[in-house]
Chains A and B, each alone.
Chain A
């Protein structure tokens, strides 16, 4: 069986090419795969499409990648008040942005994970989010068509991983991580703790191993702000 556990952060991201579409878990400072992000920065990949709720906290989280101009397009719901590197690149038109309502961001990724070709929603009807989208009336309500968001990679922050890739998350650091883990071709999890197969109670598994392709152990990093 192919081994999922990697011994180094640089090795686990070594094949991420320029131009890749990458999902990054995390919300408001909790649950960001900061060690994996730093490894991507060291690797120096370019022209990444990033899918993430936020766009960094100063030099933390995705801020580091914007600082080094590695991201060309972002799909996000709330770039954030401390995403200064993103805002500078955005103002200079070095990065483009698709703003998506937060729950719709979740569902578009979940649609990709679930093999669905899209869905209709009332969210965003009559707003600039609806621009260019098909609109129809269902059950008497105006709805717009939202399409799935796929990715080549998902970078996930977990609390515990077993060697098979079953994951648990700590408190509200769960946020986007389980959804993104299901939606990408290759899911890479950085976990605080790596434990033997069988040591996570099956009913406590939050992301089943089938969704996780690579695991690396790393002590989590938080950025204040």
Chain B
């Protein structure tokens, strides 16, 4: 095994953020009062980690603005579900509308932030998140392409590398594309990275990681602006999860 491969193997064994911690870090990117759409997977966990002092209005592409927590057992109403078919509740000030208006909001630049999962992101911010090449079955686009095209700010939450060790942040996506040059920020289990006109800028690294180590697991060049701080996660208070 060449030296670099040995080194990478060791890197892959280093502790990283959990999926919940990625969500917790991404939650800090949401401004108070923002209208926000959360996609499947890690982004869906973000609702559990909102700082207590802010209110965010969650949008669902099936026509809800102001989604609250998930319904408790016995409280479920299957006419009030999120985009993952999970029964939800509404917060005061919520509204309901049809699917065309829901996507007018996504496409027309009305949502402040959208957070999606992804298989690959390119150094130009191209997003590939709807289909794995060669996967069985039809696949499905859902609302991802409308959301990618229109959100004012698009954040991607994902693991930094694929299960097989392949980089997910790449020079050019090889997976089927969802949208071109649409990603603004990536929050991974290793780093926070901004997609800028000059390329990918490493803003923060996970505790115990150096920018050089993160670069080794990234398929496109990262630049830095001065010292790169570690990702700081506020302590989660017990009970906060359920009440939000």
Contacts and interface: CB of A to CB of B under 8 A. Distances in A.
Size category of the binding interface on chain A: 35 or more
Contacts of B140: 76-80, 99
A104 B78 CA distance: 25
A103 B180 contact: no
Interface string B166-182: 00000000001111100
Interface stretch (B8-16, B25-33, B99-107, B203-211): B99-107
B85 A225 contact: yes
A104 B62 contact: no
Contacts of B146: 101-104, 123
B138 A102 contact: no
Most chain-B CB neighbours within 10 Å: which of A30, A53, A101? A101
Given A29-B78, A172-B79, A102 B143 contact: yes
Contacts of A101: 141, 143-146
B64 interface: yes
A17 interface: no
Contacts of A76: 140
A27 B100 contact: no
Interface in B121-143: 126, 136-143
Contact of A90 (B62, B80, B138): B138
Contact of B99 (A29, A129, A175): A175
Contact of B83 (A28, A55, A222): A28
A163 interface: no
A76 B143 CA distance: 11
B121 to A, nearest CB: 14
Interface string B103-115: 1101100000000
A82 B144 CA distance: 19
A49 to B, nearest CB: 16
Given A99-B139, A102-B141, A102-B143, A123 B107 contact: yes
Q: Which 3 A-B pairs have the closest CB atoms?
A: A103-B103, A103-B146, A78-B140
Interface of A: 27-31, 53, 55, 76-80, 86-87, 90-91, 97, 99-104, 106-107, 110, 121-129, 142, 170-179, 206, 222, 224-225
5 contacts: A28-B85, A102-B146, A126-B126, A170-B79, A174-B97
Interface of B: 60-64, 77-81, 83-85, 96-100, 102-104, 106-107, 126, 136-146, 149-150, 176-180
